[in-house]
């Protein structure tokens, strides 16, 4: 995998174009045996088509819950979520998003190609079309030579690339990612970040990305949404003004300025920076 230059991600200060995700007045309260847990409080967020937005905040502040609300895996206690112009529930039925998690979650008995093909089988896509799409996706994530391998024969980064290919298989306009690179070593993680930017640019997919790492959020995102400690509220949204995103950006003063802005917003939100990695 080579380092990737990704342009066209500038304009962070412009208002987000409407369209991919609209979250209005969302509260999430869980009833537990120990009483009510207020996970999200008054979340309003608009995410434009083709945007890459990260969610960051201290452990337990509701990042995964917010992602699950967008995915309609949790119905918010209050408020409204519109995905791809329709209620989140309809978007789920229409498979308008793909998901990728920290654990790649591949089926060990299926080949790499078989794993990527799975959502297309569920979708009822014709066999010839499936084969074509799988080949295209394995090319996209740089795993064309590993189509017949089993997940257990791949490195962690390669497994994550299979998971991303699988999530993208039905061409969802939206990709929801929950700490997808959290279990990878630092170098692999940086390579995967560059890969994700390239894939996002090539496919135009909107990405909502949960992370604990401030540099990861700044490197990837046009906007970093900072949540306060539970109950998760939006403490601030940090626009990241990087015209080009390649490895050299990691030494760019604007990259460091973004990191400082996110860190200060975390502190300003009353959040101890604990649970958030400065690396
Ligand atoms: N299904 C559930 N039932 C009850 N409580 C829940 C449920 N899901 C999440 N919570 C609670 O909601 C709060 C937010 O959890 P969530 O997993 O969204 O946080 P997070 O910011 O993703 O945390 P982390 O960074 O540690 O992964 C936590 O207090 C958690 O215990």
% of the chain beyond a pLDDT of 70? 90
From start to end of the chain, where are the E strands?
19-32, 35-48, 52-56, 78-83, 86-87, 97-101, 174-178, 206-210, 223-227, 234-239
Separation of alpha carbons 63 and 176, rounded Å: 12
Tokens 């209620």 belong to residue? 87
pLDDT tens digit string along 123-134?
Answer: 899 999 999 999
68 lines ligand 1 (CB under 6 A): no
Shortest-distance Cα residue to atom 29 of ligand 1:
60
pLDDT of residue 43: 97
Cα gap 100→18, rounded to integer Å: 24
The residue-averaged pLDDT of 208-227 equals 96
**Residues across the chain:** 279
The answer to whether the CB of 69 is under 6 A from ligand 1 is no
Ligand 1 pocket residue status of 61, Cβ below 6 Å: yes
Cα–Cα distance measured from residue 275 to residue 229, given in angstroms and rounded to the nearest whole number: 10
Residue 116 pLDDT exceeds 80: yes
Q: What is the pLDDT of residues 172-193, one digit of tens each?
A: 999 999 998 888 888 888 888 9
Would you state the CATH architecture of domain 21-96+172-269? Answer: 3-Layer(aba) Sandwich (3.40)
Q: Is the pLDDT of residue 275 over 80?
A: no
Round to whole Å and give the CA distance between 169 and 165: 6
Q: 59 CB under 6 A from ligand 1?
A: yes
Question: What is the Å distance from ligand 1's center to 60 Cα?
Answer: 5
What average pLDDT does the structure give for the chain? 88
Give me the percent of the chain exceeding a pLDDT of 90.
66
Residue 278 has pLDDT above 90, yes or no: no
- With 60 as the cut, is the pLDDT of residue 11 above it? no
Q: Which residue's CA is minimally distant from atom 14 of ligand 1?
A: 62
Indicate if ligand 1 lies below 6 Å from the C-beta of 62. Answer: yes
pLDDT at 2: 37
Task: Supply the pLDDT for residue 22.
Answer: 96
Q: Which of 61, 214, 271 to mutate to test the pocket of ligand 1 (most atoms within 8 A of CB)?
A: 61
Can you give the pLDDT at residue 5?
37
Residues 133-149 have pLDDT tens digits of 999 999 888 899 999 99
Judged against a pLDDT cut of 70, whether residue 4 lies above it is answered with: no
ipTM score: 0.98
The mean pLDDT of 239-267, rounded to a whole number, is: 90
Residue 166 has pLDDT above 80, yes or no: yes
Is the pTM higher than 0.80? The answer reads yes
- What is the reported pLDDT for 65? 96
DSSP assigned state of 16: P
Tens digit of each residue's pLDDT (9 = 90 or more) over 25-35: 999 999 999 89
Q: pLDDT tens across 92-108, in order?
A: 998 899 998 888 889 99
pLDDT, tens digit, for every residue of 63-74?
A: 999 999 999 999
Domain residue ranges of the chain, discontinuous segments joined by +: 21-96+172-269, 106-171
Burial grade of 34 (CB within 10 A; 0-12, 13-18, 19 or more): exposed
pLDDT of 219 higher than 70: yes
pLDDT at residue 103, rounded to an integer: 83
- Please name every residue paired with 210 in a beta bridge, in sequence order, or none if there are none: 55, 178
């Amino acid at each position: 995998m080579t380092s990737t230059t990704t342009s066209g991600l500038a304009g962070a200060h412009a208002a987000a174009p409407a369209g991919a995700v609209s979250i209005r007045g969302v509260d999430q309260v869980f009833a537990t045996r120990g009483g009510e847990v207020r996970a999200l409080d008054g979340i309003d967020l608009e995410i434009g088509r083709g945007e890459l937005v990260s969610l960051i905040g201290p452990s337990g502040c509701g990042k995964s819950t917010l992602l699950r609300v967008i995915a309609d895996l949790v119905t918010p206690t209050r408020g409204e979520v519109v995905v791809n112009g329709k209620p989140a529930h309809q978007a789920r039925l229409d498979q308008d998003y793909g998901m990728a998690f920290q654990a790649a979650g591949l089926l060990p008995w299926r080949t790499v190609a078989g794993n990527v093909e799975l959502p297309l089988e569920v979708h009822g896509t014709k066999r010839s079309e499936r084969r074509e799409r799988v080949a295209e996706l394995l090319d996209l994530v740089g795993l064309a030579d590993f189509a017949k391998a089993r997940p257990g024969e791949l490195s962690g980064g390669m497994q994550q690339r299979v998971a991303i290919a699988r999530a993208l298989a039905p061409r969802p306009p939206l990709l929801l990612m929950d700490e997808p690179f959290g279990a990878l070593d630092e170098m692999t993680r940086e390579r995967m970040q560059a890969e994700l930017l390239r894939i996002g640019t090539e496919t135009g997919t909107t990405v909502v990305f949960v992370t604990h790492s401030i540099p990861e959020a700044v490197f990837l995102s046009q906007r970093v949404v900072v949540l306060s400690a539970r109950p998760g509220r939006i403490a601030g949204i940090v626009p990241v003004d990087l015209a080009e995103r390649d490895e050299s950006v990691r030494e760019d003063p604007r990259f460091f300025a973004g990191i400082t802005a996110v860190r200060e917003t975390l502190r300003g939100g009353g959040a101890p920076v604990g649970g958030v990695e400065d690396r």
